[in-house]
Chain A
Amino acid sequence: MAMRIINCILTALIALMLFTSCEQEYTPPKSPDGPKYVVEGYIEAGENPFPPYVILTRTFDFYGTLNPAQFTGSFIHGADVSIKDGDLEVVLQEICLSDLSPELRKEVAAQFGFNPDSLAIDYCVYLDVLGQLQPQQEKSYDLRIVTENQVITATTYIPKHVPLENIHFEAPPGSPNDSLAQLRCSISDPPGVRNFYKYFGATNGGPLRTSFSSVVEDLFFDGKTFEFQLFNPKTTESNVDPDKFGLYFVGDSMTIKWCNMDEAHFDFWNTLEFSNANQGPFSSYTRLQSNIHGGLGIWGGYSVSYYTRKVAY
């Protein structure tokens, strides 16, 4: 985190100097090797877990624009997708939004953070529809996908959950402002083991989102009770007034989804967030660290808990 802030400020310093800079658009060359498979799948244990699911797509070439047909066309249909927890092997069923009843469609779309009325692409997932699998903490889960004669595999582990504590709102730092609040909370990090955390946030019942920096490991605070601020993901977006960065609005309600994950899962999000934040004049590329064998993406386990509060102090 510290180095990210330093990098951001160094980049800002450069930006100050680049007032004379000039941008030219260009088109990168097309890959000679064709598309790759992309897996995005999660399995949750803990409070109110979402059923295990996998989204299977193909990569796009670098186009100037992508349209709904291209997005819809990127989903891979008819794959054999299964999850094994050591003893039990469960085959996931492919479901597309267009197959669902309006009620179910609304429910599923909300879970993925979409407004079902404005969704222009036909979203398809492989899902444990019947709820055969009951994911548990401190257990590993193997994913196996067979499609177009290719085998894609991955393994993830759901660690023991470490809940949030002492969740409260405070006045933001700096100039007094009674319409904004910062969310503070703490955790009691278990000593001696590496723990990896991620959070999602939502306000007023909206979809859960992640901020630009949503993951952290405990190397700084291993075994300690550690207090920290959690940003409001919505106010970390680039179009928001910098004075409101990361803050909540008094009177809103907020929901935090707090997750533990294994190292490979953390590495994926850590490299993803570093890569997105680290574009600039001195940046090198960062390849996302995937646990998928035979493709890109992530097969990630979470142990989760949810916290809903009214924004007030």
Chain B
Amino acid sequence: MALKAFLNQHMRTTLLRCLPTFIYCFGLIISNAQGNHTLSGYIKDKESGETLIGANIHLDMDPTIGTLTNTYGFYSITLPEGKYRFVFSYLGYQNLIRDIELDTNLTVNIELVSGIEMKEVVVSDKEDEADENVQSTSMGRVSLPTEQIKVLPSLLGEVDILKTIQLLPGVSSAGEGSAGFYVRGGGADQNLVLLDEAVVYNSGHFLGFFSVFNADAIKNTTLIKGGIPAVYGGRLSSVLDIQMKEGNNQHFAAEGGIGLISSRLTLEGPIVKERSSFLISARRTYGFDLAQPLIAKTDFAGTNYFFYDLNTKFNYQFSQKDRLYLSGYFGRDVLTVAQRERDIQFKLPYGNATATLRWNHLFNDRLFFNLSAIYNDYQFRASFDQEQLHFDVFSGVRDVSAKFDFDYFPSTHHQIKTGLQGTYHRLTPNIVTGNAGETEFTSSAKPKFGNEFGVYIQDDWKLNDWLRINFGLRGTLFQQTGPYTSKITSKKYGPGEIVKTYSSIEPRIYINTNLGVNSSLKGGITSTTQYLHLVSNSSSTLPADVWVPSSEIVKPQRGWLYALGYFQNLQNNGYEASIEAYYKSLHDQIDYRESFVDNSVDQVEDEFVFGKGKAYGLEFFIRKNKGDLNGWLGYTLSRTDRTFPDIEGGRVFPATYDRTHDMTFVTNYTINPRLTAGLVFIYATGRTFTPVERLYVIGSNLQTDYGPRNSQRLEPYHRMDISLTWIPKGGEQKKFKSNWVFSIYNVYNRKNTFFTYTDYTTDLEMGDATIKAYKVSIFPILPSITWNFKWQ
């Protein structure tokens, strides 16, 4: 029924129009591939058996002929019969060169040796690697292996993937210490955050100061801030694709650490050696637990706060052609506030749960298939009890999704991906229930439902030595479904009945023109549509903010991104540099109306206003990839603004996260094999804010009259963090390895403003008032120490 509904209206018409073209292209490609032979297999880490994502395979004689492993570590390269020397390489691993006579289809699994095991420097000796950033069609795409993230300084010693990606050009932070991020002028809800393909709707702990991703359980992080391939959809601005480790299938291993605010432990090992493995990883904070004996003696006995994460993954290889993965994540923040004297108990648990079941199947050496069943559930709950008064607030998002993807490698000139995804959404706004004495009450808000479908096809097509095109097309369809009562017509819709349908065709085109072996010019156009929305009335997103679906009232957000970039590698790929310019137009943007009051009793859609936005900028990036000293320098010059007819009469105003200048410098230096230093420096134009302009008296108290929205800026933000990683004697043993990470956040104690507030003392009788405005900074110089270990 769902599929039937999917193939309707505009989608069906458009797809039917496009289908003959696709069939023709497929036929052409397959016919061209006849008479060639295919080398395929998986590329893995030799020590752990982990598959390597994005590993490079190319011919030694011509680095431009090659391919990459896909998300599951699978590669396939088809060439005319002959004898070839292949180079297999991956960031931070020793290259492997192998001579292979390709006179038939061959399956060769490759094991690469990590060059950085428990060393604190990621030396990407890319001298022999292909110029992937120059050769590929991808733009605005950065992959960060977790080992690279772990060597950088961190807040309170908590290694944080989301804070690391904020160091890339075009990505800005939601605020001091926040794991929230904005990409190229897009909103916080416009980032698609995936953990093993499951959407993570709230990626922050402790009001966003720490991310939910435990680095010990993460294998690879890829941020796509520009040319989003057609395989991804549902968000306007970026994709953050995070892959969990699969678990060591060679031997049992344990990894963990003890830090200032949390500890973590990861266990992994084979279930059946080389065929099956597991990974279980946990992290929990304990600051308040340690304070419990003190709290127990006060009126606030029972008050506590902690967060935890649990990651698990199992995989089983049934045959050379079939493999099953089951992965899951469960995390919660739990706040309890108790006050005995007033008989008050307040509980606030919230967090995500995800589960992904995937089946990989090789139809043949060139056709890789993946089928995924995905479940994710974000819940926010708060309850308050005081004698006769009790209330509960609940909101959340629950998705059930199925998707299949084909990766087809017909020749070295084409890499085709196609697939289909369907998702059932249940979105619960803030629903308040409770009772005051015998009177029960409940808010009028009701859960909303929707079906979202996406179908895509893309071909990375190498036309000749200097021209490469990645052409993709994604068709999407969203249906708001019942139960629902129309606010426009008052019509009542039953469960599953379609209320409103939206569809979209999203072309994605990227062209790479090689200007030489080490330089290229790339350009691209990306069209995206977003059917789920998170609108926040805060300066940052909060766990209580609710996601709402597109509906008869709320249109989908739509965006177009135009990008042009020049890419240059220098000194045998020791340095890679790029300049990218982008222009993004955003339509049907959503914000709360002016004077919005969050009282949970209204349907939030009634409080929305709709408008448009634009963002444009220039990004400069240079990265040193080899040697004892490596790192990167990024600079972004940008502007992003919004226009809403119902806000200040349609005045164009800069977005809260508009940053004119944003510069980051990230480096690490291997002093000796046991000592590594890291440094991060950030400079950014101050955040915009809405100033208090006037004061006036109402009800014997002073009130504030605000100036135009976001018409002032805080002072510039800058900060330097340093770290030192030390491997003690005996810490580099083969079986047991350990290190100490000493980190200093905000080393020169810069007082960056986190927020501003005003404070009034008024005595109208006496005609006296004292008015003060304050800027508050939260993180002064913060040293931390973490001990990490690995046993294998």
- Contact (Cβ within 8 A) A226 B544: no
- CB under 8 Å from chain A, chain B span 427-444: 430, 432, 434, 436-439, 441-444
A2 to chain B, nearest CB (A): 5
Tell me how many residues of B have a C-beta within 8 Å of chain A. Answer: 92
Distance in angstroms between the alpha carbons of A225 and B443 in the assembled complex: 16
Distance in angstroms between the alpha carbons of A298 and B779 in the assembled complex: 41
- Contact (Cβ within 8 A) A57 B596: no
**Which of A13, A26, A225, A284 is in CB contact (< 8 Å) with B773?**
A26
- Contact (Cβ within 8 A) B768 A67: yes
- In addition to A219-B602, A272-B699, 7 A-B residue pairs with Cβ atoms within 8 Å of each other are A5-B346, A22-B777, A23-B775, A25-B772, A36-B705, A220-B601, A296-B705
Distance in angstroms between the alpha carbons of A178 and B543 in the assembled complex: 40
> Within 8 Å of chain B (Cβ to Cβ): is A190?
no
Which residues of A are in contact with B by a Cβ distance under 8 Å? 1-7, 9-10, 12-14, 16-18, 20-31, 33, 35-36, 38, 40, 57-72, 74, 112-115, 118-121, 172-175, 184, 210, 217, 219-221, 224-229, 242-243, 245, 267, 270-272, 274-276, 279-289, 296-298
* Known pairs A120-B765, A286-B595; A62 contacts B693 (CB<8 A): yes
- Contact (Cβ within 8 A) B770 A2: no
- Contact (Cβ within 8 A) A59 B700: no
Distance in angstroms between the alpha carbons of A270 and B595 in the assembled complex: 9
> Within 8 Å of chain A (Cβ to Cβ): is B466?
no
> Within 8 Å of chain A (Cβ to Cβ): is B15?
no
Quick one: closest B residue to A175, CB to CB? B341
B699 contact set on A, CB distance < 8 A: 40, 210, 272
A160 to chain B, nearest CB (A): 22
Distance in angstroms between the alpha carbons of A293 and B104 in the assembled complex: 83
- Contact (Cβ within 8 A) B755 A68: no
* Known pairs A120-B767, A275-B704; A57 contacts B696 (CB<8 A): yes
**Which of A1, A274, A297 is in CB contact (< 8 Å) with B698?**
A297
> Within 8 Å of chain A (Cβ to Cβ): is B337?
yes
- 29 chain-A/chain-B pairs, Cβ below 8 angstroms: A2-B600, A10-B348, A10-B544, A12-B337, A14-B207, A20-B779, A21-B778, A24-B774, A25-B774, A29-B712, A31-B707, A36-B705, A65-B771, A68-B766, A71-B697, A115-B765, A121-B765, A173-B387, A174-B339, A175-B340, A221-B441, A226-B441, A243-B342, A270-B597, A279-B758, A282-B542, A285-B690, A288-B705, A289-B594
A275 contact set on B, CB distance < 8 A: 703-704
**Which 9 A/B pairs are nearest by Cβ-Cβ distance?**
A68-B767, A173-B387, A174-B343, A31-B693, A59-B694, A289-B595, A66-B769, A282-B538, A219-B601
* Known pairs A220-B441, A220-B442; A60 contacts B695 (CB<8 A): yes
Distance in angstroms between the alpha carbons of A23 and B430 in the assembled complex: 34
Distance in angstroms between the alpha carbons of A36 and B707 in the assembled complex: 12
A127 to chain B, nearest CB (A): 17
Binary per-residue interface labels of chain B (324-367) against chain A in the complex, 1 for a CB within 8 Å, 0 otherwise:
00000000000101011111101010000000000000000000
Quick one: closest A residue to B393, CB to CB? A2
- Contact (Cβ within 8 A) B439 A173: no
B353 to chain A, nearest CB (A): 22
Distance in angstroms between the alpha carbons of A285 and B755 in the assembled complex: 12
Distance in angstroms between the alpha carbons of A74 and B596 in the assembled complex: 29
Quick one: closest A residue to B753, CB to CB? A24
Quick one: closest B residue to A271, CB to CB? B595
> Within 8 Å of chain A (Cβ to Cβ): is B691?
yes
> Within 8 Å of chain A (Cβ to Cβ): is B681?
no
B45 to chain A, nearest CB (A): 38
A50 to chain B, nearest CB (A): 14
> Within 8 Å of chain A (Cβ to Cβ): is B539?
yes
- Contact (Cβ within 8 A) B782 A20: yes
* Known pairs A29-B691, A274-B597; A298 contacts B698 (CB<8 A): yes
**Which of A20, A227, A283 is in CB contact (< 8 Å) with B437?**
A227
B764 to chain A, nearest CB (A): 7
- Contact (Cβ within 8 A) B600 A285: no
* Known pairs A57-B696, A272-B703; A221 contacts B439 (CB<8 A): yes
- Contact (Cβ within 8 A) A286 B768: no
B446 to chain A, nearest CB (A): 14
> Within 8 Å of chain A (Cβ to Cβ): is B692?
yes
- Contact (Cβ within 8 A) B769 A40: no
* Known pairs A62-B694, A173-B342, A210-B699; A225 contacts B439 (CB<8 A): yes
> Within 8 Å of chain A (Cβ to Cβ): is B537?
yes
> Of A10, A12, A228, which is in contact with the most chain B CB atoms at under 10 Å from its CB?
A10
A184 contact set on B, CB distance < 8 A: 437
Distance in angstroms between the alpha carbons of A275 and B337 in the assembled complex: 24
- Contact (Cβ within 8 A) B542 A227: no
B755 contact set on A, CB distance < 8 A: 280-283
A174 to chain B, nearest CB (A): 4
- Contact (Cβ within 8 A) B389 A38: no
* Known pairs A63-B771, A114-B765; A28 contacts B600 (CB<8 A): no
- Contact (Cβ within 8 A) B696 A60: yes
- Contact (Cβ within 8 A) B695 A6: no
- Contact (Cβ within 8 A) A66 B771: yes
Quick one: closest A residue to B761, CB to CB? A65
> Of B596, B703, B782, which is in contact with the most chain A CB atoms at under 10 Å from its CB?
B703
* Known pairs A22-B780, A275-B704; A227 contacts B698 (CB<8 A): no
Quick one: closest B residue to A4, CB to CB? B599
Distance in angstroms between the alpha carbons of A222 and B322 in the assembled complex: 59
* Known pairs A9-B348, A25-B772; A282 contacts B695 (CB<8 A): no
B540 contact set on A, CB distance < 8 A: 282
A39 to chain B, nearest CB (A): 9
A57 contact set on B, CB distance < 8 A: 696-697
Distance in angstroms between the alpha carbons of A281 and B343 in the assembled complex: 28
- Contact (Cβ within 8 A) B691 A28: yes
- CB under 8 Å from chain A, chain B span 742-792: 751, 753-758, 764-780, 782
B72 contact set on A, CB distance < 8 A: none
> Of A18, A57, A74, which is in contact with the most chain B CB atoms at under 10 Å from its CB?
A18
Quick one: closest A residue to B781, CB to CB? A20
Binary per-residue interface labels of chain B (355-389) against chain A in the complex, 1 for a CB within 8 Å, 0 otherwise:
00000000000000000000000000010101111
B771 contact set on A, CB distance < 8 A: 62-66
- Contact (Cβ within 8 A) A9 B772: no
